[in-house]
Structure 1
Amino acid sequence: MGDPVYVSVLASDPVLAAGATAALREDPDLVLVSGDGPADVAVVLVDQVDPLALDTVRRVRDTGGRSEVVLVASDFTQAQALHAVAAGARGLVRRREASSARLARTVLAAADGDCSMPPDMLALLLEPDPGRPSVRAVRGTSDGVGLDERERAVLHLVAEGRATGEIARELSYSIRTVSGVVHDITRRFRLRNRAHAVAYALRSGLL
């Protein structure tokens, strides 16, 4: 076992907070801290992904400790999922799917700098948005707008919730190369983090 991951749980409902805390305590790699203490990852539990929930995600991300955020909600629409990752959430979990194992995996992925969300939620993000033009036609073009094959391969595995080391092994790249690819994507498209990069690429037709 490596260094422990320090986790805080934030919820307005004390029953939800107690349930999530009990579930996370089952994983030996996680250490629970008080809600206002410094943590590597903050698990934020909400009923709906509304403006108040998104403000909470931003506030937690922008505090001095800059905790990564796993957002647990009753459900996510396409727009809500996109707004959540744009606000800085690294992991999205539906409450009904938040088993001890699923929640712990999502927290550990967030602590490792990776994003994680249910596969069907990724499929939801693939649905076209009629209000936003697609850039599928410019994929891989020489003007730098699209993604090359290496970038798409890395981002596909990021979307699956793979850790950086796993991606490096699968694609036979160094960890430094994988990190550099993701950094280049987020910088080029002015995105906040890996989760935002995945959501943007899916919605825009780059993946």
Structure 2
Amino acid sequence: MGDPVCVAVVANDPMLEAGATSALRSCPDLSVVTPGEPAVVTVVMVDSVGADELAAVRATRSAPHRPEVVIVATDVDPGAAQRAIAAGARGLLRRKEATPVRLARTVLAAAGGDCTVPPDMLNRLLDGGLLGDRDLSAAGGWSAAGLSDRERAVLSLVADGHETSEIARTLSYSTRTVTTVVHDITRRFRLRNRAHAVAYALRAGLL
């Protein structure tokens, strides 16, 4: 096991900051640091995603250590999600959906280069090209090539936010097999990462 991922929490409400900090500290793969200390990921707790919040995302991303940003918002619509991702946010959660497990998974995904957004917002982000939308016709497309049962099972668990080791235990595969399945999907369809693969599969009705 590698070193824990350093994560900072920024919130105007001290109670929200304390709650998010407590939730993140429950994950052994994360280490919470104080704002201003170098962090791989910064969690920003806001009520809504407006101009001030987007400016804060850009400012955080331009800091010397360039942390990834995960936004946890009380209220966020697809348009706000689109603007947040365009501003540089790597993850987005509604506060009511931000359980300790889901928040930790979103932070770890951001640290690993994946972008996590609520499933109902994926189409809007794909239409805007913010998840690297591509024309899949050259690769045969999802509908033509389809997914094997094993690929569908792995992607379904990825879509639910499970880590590689959890997927391996659930499906009785090795972690190497799970990693290979995801890699094969992203390579075959020329996708950017796990989140992009899930987005396309959901959009095509394969999950």
Instruction: Give, in angstroms, the shift of residue 154 of structure 1.
Output: 1.8
- What amino acid maps onto 2:72 in structure 1? V
Structure 1 unaligned runs (5+)?
A: 133-140
Given that 2:61 and 2:67 are in contact with CA atoms closer than 8 Å, whether structure 1 keeps it comes out as: yes
Aligned to 1:18: 17
Kindly state the Cα deviation for residue 183 of structure 1 after the two structures are TM-superposed: 3.5
Q: Which has the higher contact order (CA 8 A, sep 6+)?
A: 1
TM-score by length of 2: 0.62
Aligned amino acid, residue 19 of structure 1: A
Separation in 1, partners of 2:138, 2:174: 26
How much identity, in percent, do the aligned residues show?
A: 52
1:174, 1:113 → 2: CA distance? 23
Structure 1 CA distance for aligned equivalents of residues 39 and 62 of structure 2 = 13
Q: Indicate the residue corresponding to 1:32 in structure 2.
A: 32
Structure 1 position 71 matched with structure 2 position 71 = yes
Preserved contact between residue 25 and residue 31 of structure 2 (Cα < 8 Å):
no
* Counterpart position of 1:94: 94
Determine the C-alpha separation between the residues in 1 that align with 2:177 and 2:87.
26
Aligned to 1:173: 173
In the other structure, the counterpart of 2:7 is 7
Structure 2 unaligned segments of length 5 or more: list them: 128-136
Q: Tell me the TM-score normalized by structure 1.
A: 0.62
8 A Cα contact 2:17 2:45, kept in partner = no
CA displacement at 1:35 relative to structure 2? 2.7
Q: 8 Å contact 1:9–1:20 — kept in the other structure?
A: no
d(CA) in 2 for partners of 1:58, 1:172: 42
- How many pairs were matched up? 192
3-state DSSP of counterpart to 1:195? helix
Confirm or deny that 1:195 pairs with 2:195. yes
Distance in 2 (alpha carbons) for counterparts of 1:85 and 1:100: 22
Where do 1:97-136 residues align within 5 Å? 97-98=97-98, 100=100, 103-104=103-104, 106-108=106-108, 121-122=118-119, 124-125=120-121
Contact 2:70 2:90 in 1 (8 A): yes
